[in-house]
Amino acid sequence: MNRFVVISGCSGGGKSTLLAELARRGYAVVEEPGRRIVREETERGGSAVPWLDAAAFLQRAVAMSIADRISAGTREGWVFFDRGLVDAAAGLQHLTGEAVPASLGQIHRYHRQVFLTPPWPEIYRSHPERRHGFDSAVAEYLRLLAIYPSLGYEVSILPKIGVSERADFVLKALTE
């Protein structure tokens, strides 16, 4: 059984908050590659950020996602990823038109069940690492909703409930 679980979906839909709750409960969590890249690029004055060089940003996200997946192998129990390789590859496909390879569904495989946060305008907020608007976030969500099943993953849409209840929902679904 694969212990590596992706929490993905709509930007601003509560992924990071859910992952913080899972970490608080003692589970291993891998921070979203995009946020780390934006921080690193901002600190060093680089341009591999979505609003300056989206292709370079997404290529770094693909590489970082692969490295994250490999390094997670040393962790015990469930490991929760705030986005992952499929997200980065889907973004690159959207930007360049280059198809996501079908083999991506087998290489660096995550748990079969992927959890997506739906668009939730009531909690959506922009911040320095997320400059795009809600409409762009919804479009991204719709792409992810299509790509994950095409690669053989089962998608569970997270209900719009409190963070503790969302964590319970994820953990219960993984044990069923």
Q: What was the pLDDT predicted at 174?
A: 96
Per-residue pLDDT of the chain (176 residues; tens, 9 = 90+): 589 999 999 887 889 899 999 999 999 999 989 889 989 998 999 998 888 888 888 889 888 888 999 899 889 899 999 998 899 888 888 888 877 766 665 677 899 999 999 987 666 566 555 555 778 888 889 999 999 999 889 999 999 999 999 999 999 999 98
Could you tell me the residue ranges of all domains in the chain? 4-175
Q: What was the pLDDT predicted at 166?
A: 96
CA-to-CA separations, 166 to 23, 37, 124, 127, in angstroms, rounded: 13, 27, 17, 23
pTM: 0.88
Any idea which architecture 4-175 has in CATH? 3-Layer(aba) Sandwich (3.40)
